[in-house]
Chain A
């Protein structure tokens, strides 16, 4: 056993911190909760790409750094700790790169991976549909082969950041007659293709976060099929392990956690009262302990991936635990702040930089996206513990 990062990884962490301190000093961003998904800042993303910090785990021949999942963990941990704006590249870096590497053709790899690393392309994830949420395998969007193109028709929904990104990573049905898990394929779709309409949906914070994406006779080159036709379900399940197990599940609202502790420990304003309130003290300590447990559950998955061990239930467990932690955090902060917890960032009386309200409003989404808590508990029970489905 060994629970520490290597010296190189620690040096890398310092380097990232220095970069982010510089960015903060230059006023390039303001630390915010959920900034990995909510805040779109292509300039910031470009600067990361210039340092080679997008596609870190991709092989060097494709423009990546050839580093491992644990190195990426260090990077994401720091980006999240600083509340840095990563909405322009997070999904692309997290899962589209690794998916293409695993299943893409040589042409796809040489075309897209270097562009991913340079932040010249970015992907939204076109999985969910109005009638296919948790039951993702029942997607209806159709892709029919017509010569050297697929003709795509259907609708996606909750597609995060599709209104900003260049491409859609699409899950569509290629064999309507096969059993539902066996007729799905994955595609790369250029969002500027004729027939694509992207319509933003406002999330409860008022943010333009996700979208409806309508696909009307969209012609997608057959060379954009990722992996094997009708093998999409198998491909997507392993991708979900990347999607679910990242540090963002635990640290998305870390800036709020950090601000809370500073507020209490610095003994100013109302923080002083909280610092001696036994209930508040108890709750903060509980959050601290729970946070560390979450860290271990996420580190474990990164370690498994690093070792080439395929996660089974472990990613589901990390995501489930960590997002429920984040909700407990926002619940606790809101409760501690009393009436001040009602105040949005515009108010001059809002404590903690006004982060509490928006983090609180966003928090219900955390346990929905990328597999709801119910679905994840079922995955743990059936896949992990071997309990019968019937």
Chain B
């Protein structure tokens, strides 16, 4: 049993924290939020110089071959900094999926580009049903000679509008079992028949509607086996879900730190508000939410990193952390009083992220439902 990060991970953490403090001030977050691209290009380039986009890309494809847990260390810091942009989708949805399931050609083509910060990748998965399971995938891809023709609409696709490639989930055959007949394709954003609309949403992250109208894809752009897409998606989804939890942990920790700082400084009735028990107890509850989130998220992250099967831990983490982060940001607002309730203050950036992250990859209710559905054991231990 070991609750601590390794020495190298601690170094990575410290470096990431310093870097983001300097390079990703909240002024940048606000600028990016207003920018239709939603992409902090300069910062993206600097991150690539540090090798961040290639952290989990294997060495022979130009990355550093770090573990999933290493990536979590970075993503936690990004959550603290409210870093906007396509890092998450490119590394977690893109690099991890391609490394696991891409053909040798696809890997050679894309992984080095990802590692150099020259490619943005995303995954087009969810549709109007907002379901995060196999049943949600209704877009279809029909064989036509050497190609497939994709039709349908994807929703909530992160950064599709600036992505170079989209990993698209579509049905290549229909059956009674929703998990079978799903195939993944690597699709260039500029392919004819694709229409992308950025959805206005609560935080700086760009989520898109992607319409496919008779989009023709050569069969060598298939990722994994025909009809074998679901296990690949599941693997990616588990990792993305947990990575999102870890990003929330970073945000929640930051909100707690800001709030404690403020509670020590703000004077009312001739004393710091942090000396009032009502404020102290609220802060204690925030601390429980932060620590609880941290360990339940890292428990799942560690299991994934070790390739242990852990769907239950993933759902437990997402259901709990999603609610905890929202509670923390709500409490943060309360302790900050009026000053925190302005557009100029940073608190709402976290409040917004907490909401958006809570619904990403299935919200608390979705995952709670998964917990009971999968729960055949009577003993958790």
A interface residues (Cβ-Cβ under 8 A, vs B): 1-5, 70, 77, 81, 258, 261-262, 265, 281-282, 284-286, 288-293, 296-297, 299-300, 302-304, 306, 313-314, 317, 320-321, 374, 376-378, 380-382, 384-390
Contacts and interface: CB of A to CB of B under 8 A. Distances in A.
B8 to A, nearest CB: 12
B368 A306 contact: no
B280 A285 contact: no
Given A285-B369, A296-B295, A377 B378 contact: no
Contacts of A382: 280
B372 A303 contact: no
B372 A381 contact: no
A303 B264 contact: no
Contacts of A390: 271, 275
Contacts of A378: 277, 280-281, 284
A2 B308 CA distance: 12
Q: Which 9 residue pairs are nearest across A and B when measured between Cβ atoms?
A: A381-B280, A296-B295, A285-B368, A380-B284, A377-B284, A387-B274, A285-B371, A377-B281, A2-B2
Contacts of B24: none
Contacts of A281: 368-369, 372
Task: Determine the interface band of chain B, counting residues with CB < 8 A from chain A.
Answer: 35 or more
Contact of B378 (A2, A265, A320): A265
A381 B284 contact: yes
B10 to A, nearest CB: 11
B343 interface: no
Contacts of A282: 365, 368-369, 372
Interface in B351-381: 365, 368-369, 371-372, 375-376, 378-381
Contacts of B372: 281-282, 284-285, 288
A93 B293 CA distance: 31
Contacts of B296: 289, 292-293, 296
A385 B261 CA distance: 10
Contact of B1 (A70, A258, A377, A389): A70
Interface stretch (B11-19, B211-219, B313-321): B313-321
Contacts, number: 153
Nearest to A6: B1
B272 interface: yes
Contacts of B288: 297, 317, 320-321, 380
Interface string B285-313: 10110011001101100110000000001
B163 interface: no
B378 A258 contact: yes
Nearest to A381: B280
Given A2-B2, A289-B319, A377-B284, 17 more contacts: A1-B298, A265-B378, A282-B369, A284-B372, A292-B313, A299-B295, A300-B295, A306-B1, A317-B291, A321-B292, A378-B277, A384-B287, A385-B280, A385-B284, A387-B274, A387-B283, A388-B264
Given A262-B378, A388-B274, A390-B271, A380 B287 contact: yes
B378 A385 contact: no
A382 B365 CA distance: 34
Interface in B216-235: none
A387 B368 contact: no
B292 A1 contact: no
Nearest to A324: B288
A286 B371 CA distance: 9
Contacts of B69: 1
Contacts of B376: 265
Contacts of A285: 319, 368-369, 371-372, 375
B177 interface: no
Contacts of B320: 289-290, 292-293
A385 B287 contact: yes
Nearest to B273: A387
A302 B272 CA distance: 34
A3 B264 contact: no
27 contacts: A1-B3, A1-B4, A2-B302, A3-B1, A3-B298, A4-B1, A81-B379, A258-B378, A261-B378, A285-B371, A285-B375, A288-B375, A292-B316, A292-B320, A296-B295, A302-B1, A320-B288, A321-B288, A377-B284, A378-B280, A380-B283, A381-B280, A384-B284, A386-B260, A388-B274, A388-B275, A389-B275
Contacts of B283: 380-381, 385, 387
B263 interface: yes
B5 interface: yes
Contacts of B375: 261, 265, 284-285, 288
B334 to A, nearest CB: 15
A390 B270 CA distance: 10
Most buried by B among A5, A380, A385, A388: A385
A282 B323 CA distance: 14
Contacts of B313: 292
Contact of A388 (B1, B5, B272, B281): B272
A299 B264 CA distance: 31
B287 A317 contact: yes
A162 to B, nearest CB: 32
A286 B291 CA distance: 18
Contact of A258 (B284, B291, B379): B379
A258 B379 CA distance: 6
Contacts of B303: 3
A200 B115 CA distance: 71
A389 B276 CA distance: 8
Contacts of B315: 289
B257 to A, nearest CB: 9
A325 to B, nearest CB: 10
Nearest to B371: A285
B2 A292 contact: no
Contact of A374 (B6, B260, B281, B368): B281
Contacts of A306: 1
A248 to B, nearest CB: 15
